[in-house]
Amino acid sequence: MKRFYPQKKNGRFYQEDQERPRWFLSTISVFFKTLYRDYFAPIGSEAAQWIVKPSYPEQSHEPIFTWLGHSTFLIQVGGKNILTDPIFGSVSGIISRIIPHQIATNDLPRIDYVILSHNHPDHMDATSLFDIKRYNPHVKMLVPMGDKAWFDARGFIDTCEYMWWDTFEQDGLTFTFLPAKHWSQRGMFDKNKSLWGSWMIEHNGFKVYFAGDTAWSKHFKVIGHFFKSIDVAIMPIGPSEPREHMKESHVNAEEAGDGFLHLNARWFVPMHWGTFRLGMDNFKEPVYRIKAWWELNKEKCADKVLKISKVGELVHCVRQNMMYLSHLKSKQNIKSL
* pLDDT attached to residue 334: 39
Rounded percentage of the chain residues whose pLDDT exceeds 70: 85
| pLDDT reading at 12 higher than 60 | yes
CB 139 within 8 A of CB 114: yes
Q: Which residues have a Cβ under 8 Å from the Cβ of 112 and sit 6 or more positions away?
A: 80, 81, 82, 136, 139, 140, 171
d(C-alpha 117, C-alpha 115), whole Å: 7
Please report which confidence band the pLDDT of residue 321 belongs to, taking 50, 70 and 90 as the band edges.
Answer: very low
- Residues 126 and 134: beta-carbon distance below 8 Å: no
Count of CB atoms situated within 10 Å of the CB of 332 = 12
- CA 207/CA 91 separation, integer angstroms: 30
- Sheet (strand 140-144) strand order: 159-162, 140-144, 113-115, 80-84, 73-77, 64-67, 314-316
> Tell me: the pLDDT tens digits for 62-121?
999 999 999 999 999 999 999 999 999 888 766 778 888 888 899 999 999 999 999 999
274 near 98, Cβ under 8 Å?
yes
Asked if the model's pLDDT at residue 36 lies above 90, the reply is no
| Residue with the larger pLDDT of the pair 326 and 138 | 138
Q: Is the pLDDT of residue 319 over 50?
A: yes
Q: Which amino acid is at 176?
A: T
pLDDT of residue 84: 98
Across 93-102, 145-154, 269-278, the highest mean pLDDT is recorded for 145-154
> For residue 166, what are the contacts with CB-CB under 8 A and spacing of at least 6?
176, 177
Complete DSSP assignment for 151-167: HHTTT-S-EEEE-TT-E
Run of H or E including 320 = strand 318-320
CB 161 within 8 A of CB 188: no
Where is 236: in which H helix or E strand?
A: strand 232-236
Q: Distance between CA 330 and CA 270 in Å, rounded?
A: 13
Residue ranges of domains in the chain, CATH in brackets: 82-87+112-309 (3.60.15.10)
Least confident residue range of 297-306, 310-319, 320-329: 320-329
Look at 319 and 269; give whichever has higher pLDDT.
Answer: 269
Q: Quote the percentage of the chain above a pLDDT of 90.
A: 72
Please determine, for residue 304, whether its predicted confidence score (pLDDT) is greater than 90: yes
Averaged pLDDT for residues 285-292 = 96
* Range of weakest confidence among 208-212, 312-316, 319-323: 319-323
How far apart are the C-alpha atoms of 295 and 299, rounded to whole Å? Answer: 9
Q: What is the per-residue pLDDT for 281? A: 82
Q: What is the mean pLDDT of residues 300-326?
A: 78
Indicate the pairing of strand 323-325 with strand 318-320.
antiparallel
What pLDDT sits at residue 324?
A: 42
pLDDT for position 196: 98
Average confidence (pLDDT) over 253-259: 98
